[in-house]
Amino acid sequence: FEKKCQITFKQEATTETVRKCYRPQEKVCNGQGEEECRTVYESSCTTRYIEKTPGKFVGDTQCEKLPVKICGRGCVNEEGPEECHEKQIDSLVDIPEEVCDLNPQKTCRLQTKLVPSLKPKQECTIVPQETCTLNFSQPKRERKPLRTEWRLDEGGVGTSAAVPNIPPAPIPTGYAR
């Protein structure tokens, strides 16, 4: 959410009681000498009572010097006794007001994560296999031993006769003995 706030000040009239005190300057003249005029300053203080916590007030005092013109012959100034009085004054007070708007916001940002990277890699292995090829070459002659088989004839009664020998196969030409 996005929060946008604006503070505005609204003036409100209030009545407050203040205590005003001042020390007047009194002139005392004896009538001798020349007429002269001069400016003297009186102290004037205003105390406002501000409520800091409910039921607890704190005094805020401000003082100022007010000019007073005094004229006469042979006059001197003396500070008189302090005079105080309570006074109710109307004043405008600025009261702050905060107005806020909450707006939903969609925020996007890149998020990085550690992920294993899989890349294709060629892997070669040797697989044993038998390869047969047909080879055409010139025929050659080989010499093989002759094998003779014997067989008994069981046809006669009580006599056994031998089977005559089978003559050996002729030796092919071109071979030496």
pLDDT of residue 160: 47
| Residues of the chain scoring pLDDT < 50 | 158-161
| Prediction pTM value | 0.37
pLDDT number for residue 108:
75
Q: pLDDT at position 151, please?
A: 74
Q: CA-to-CA distance for 161 and 69, rounded, in angstroms?
A: 184
Among candidate residues 164, 124, 172, 168, the one with its CA nearest the CA of residue 146: 168
- The pLDDT score that the predictor gives to residue 174 is 57
Contact 26, 78 (CB under 8 A): yes
The string over 8-26, giving b where at least 16 C-beta atoms fall within 10 Å of a residue's C-beta and e elsewhere, is eeeeeeeeeebeeebeebe
- Cα-Cα-Cα-Cα torsion 64, 68, 73, 79, nearest 10 degrees, comes to -30
